[in-house]
Amino acid sequence: MSRKIKVGIIGAGTIGSVHADAYKKVANAELVALCDILPDKLAEKAKRHGVPVTYTDYKELLKNPEIEAVSICVPNNMHAPIAIDALNAGKNVMLEKPMCLNADLARQVIAARDANKKVLQIGMVRRQSTEADIIKKLIEDGRLGDVYQIRVKLIRRRGIPGLGGWFTTKALSGGGGIIDISVHALDLSMYVTGLWNPTAVSAKTYSKFGSPIKDYHYVSMWAGPPKMDGTFDVDDYAAGLIRFGDKATLSFEVAWACNARDENCIEILGDKGGVKLEGSNVVLLTEYDNRPADIKLDYNAQRDGFADELTKFIAAVNGEGEVPATPEQGLIMMRVLDAIYKSSDLNKEVEI
């Protein structure tokens, strides 16, 4: 029988608030604690979400024996150390994306999961969308045939977040647009196609718009305003090709900022059909009566992906199913990201 699981959230920023709101929709979850290193933000968020207990030190939260599970919603550089500490403290862990700064740290987190036999889920929320379900079923039903090419295009004309802050400081974030926004699209592409065997990467990253910070002109800025005395030492544009053995390829173009129109799409090409996801629109590109035909698929897109993924996380904690995004898949993603940056640094294709 399902138990009510008491949960703590570590990190009271934007994504922490998203998790707090989502947990309210999870029948078997009770949010009892919130942690952040900034006391004023912590007090405001605790009041907003009705959280009774607060901590400014996550290690104190981990000492609370009533808390069985934690969501880790902190800057990227703290993902691995907090996840390892939480697992070693006997907590089940919901770890936001990206899993870590690099693959070596991801392996250390998995080792802690194995040693403590706890649940560890990675926050790949786009898998919880109706679009993901539709595209995955089209592929499983053979509507696309043999999938051989994927195109990912995520273009922001001026979309560098929190310029000068942790997002744009490599030691804290691990990278720029690639590690921030491409993670969801690359993960979704591998998830719906089942292509979990990336073998090589040829890529190039660029840093053209973020420095000097005073010269970056923008309309709006998520996680802003910019810190004029801050750091920008990450990528704001990248392009490349990922190989999946001799079976398929994935080409990508990802930009936090560039002189091009905004785009957000994934195209998957098969020998019987193709599918294009653009925003929340899914189009099947196929044939009808021996002629090319585009079929726009209608569906209800009003779905709370965060509530869905946290529901599955709590179910896994209760022993009622598997996590929807495994740490082993998270490790594969980190290996891909490491290879993208390595390929750019070496100016050649690298094996994964």
**Model pLDDT for residues 135-150, shown as the tens digit of each residue:** 999 999 999 999 999 9
Q: Residue 167 above 80 pLDDT?
A: yes
Opening angle at CA 176, ends 80 and 72, nearest 5: 30
Residue whose tokens read 């009892």: 32
Mean pLDDT score across all residues of the chain: 97
Region of 256 on the Ramachandran plot (φ > 0 left; ψ -120 to 50 alpha; else beta): alpha
**Domains in the chain with CATH codes:** 5-125+305-323 (3.40.50.720), 127-304+334-351 (3.30.360.10)
Opening angle at CA 26, ends 305 and 3, nearest 5: 140
Q: How far apart are CA 314 and CA 4, in angstroms?
A: 9
Average pLDDT for residues 306-318, to the nearest whole number?
A: 98
User: What are all long-range contacts of 291-300, with beta carbons under 8 Å and residues at least 24 apart?
Assistant: 297/134, 299/130, 299/131, 299/134, 300/130
Average pLDDT for residues 257-283, to the nearest whole number?
A: 97
Q: How far apart are CA 19 and CA 31, in angstroms?
A: 10
User: Which pLDDT belongs to residue 161?
Assistant: 98
CB atoms closer than 10 angstroms to residue 19: 26
Reported confidence tier of residue 236, pLDDT bands at 50, 70, 90 = very high
Q: How far apart are CA 110 and CA 150, in angstroms?
A: 29
Could you read off the pLDDT of 192-218 as tens digits, one per residue? Answer: 999 999 999 999 999 999 999 999 999
Q: How far apart are CA 205 and CA 201, in angstroms?
A: 12
The candidate with the shortest Cα–Cα distance to 41, out of 58, 21, 23, 55, is 55
Structure tokens at 46: 């605790």
Helix ranges restricted to H, the chain: 14-23, 39-49, 58-62, 79-88, 103-116, 130-140, 170-173, 177-193, 305-317, 327-346
Q: Residue 6 above 90 pLDDT?
A: yes
Could you read off the pLDDT of 275-289 as tens digits, one per residue? Answer: 999 988 999 999 999
Could you read off the pLDDT of 43-98 as tens digits, one per residue? Answer: 999 999 999 999 999 999 999 999 999 999 999 999 999 999 999 999 999 999 99
Q: Residue 1 above 70 pLDDT?
A: no
User: Which pLDDT belongs to residue 300?
Assistant: 84
CB atoms closer than 10 angstroms to residue 127: 22
SS3 263: strand
Structure tokens at 310: 């946290």
Q: How far apart are CA 74 and CA 15, in angstroms?
A: 8
Reported confidence tier of residue 2, pLDDT bands at 50, 70, 90 = confident
Count the alpha carbons within 13 Å of 341 in the hemisphere toward its beta carbon: 20
pTM: 0.95
User: Percent of the chain beyond pLDDT 70?
Assistant: 100
